[in-house]
Copies of this chain bind each other. A is one copy, B any other.
């Protein structure tokens, strides 16, 4: 992974300063800290962000269930927070994590297991044993 170091300290982080969409959500990209793999993208609201930062367990907002989704709570495939990043427009998050097992509900390491090459869909990963 890239080596990045703190350069300057600014304001106290306030989740309400983020730009949430009309549903009060912001996309959060999860990246495996040790390998750089992009694992998944899901959504957080202000409270999920606070829970994630307070507990160190990455917590999303499930749009389908309309409830908090502590990643891995039922499957055991938790995401331990390593670093929490905000983008320049404050409308997207990047969470660097240590992922236990597969991140994807299909049991694959990453949700991005399908490539498009020469107009064809190609499967890049199989489910983990």
Contacts and interface: CB of A to CB of B under 8 A. Distances in A.
B31 A38 contact: yes
Interface in A96-129: 104-106, 108, 111-117, 119-126
A41 B92 contact: yes
Contacts of A6: 115, 117, 122-124
B41 A1 contact: no
Interface residues of A, number: 50
Interface string A49-91: 0000100000000000000000000000000000111111100
Nearest to A106: B88
Contact of A115 (B27, B37, B85, B125): B85
B115 A88 contact: no
A16 interface: no
B29 A41 contact: yes
Contact of A124 (B5, B104, B106, B113): B5
Given A106-B88, A114-B86, A10 B125 contact: no
A46 interface: no
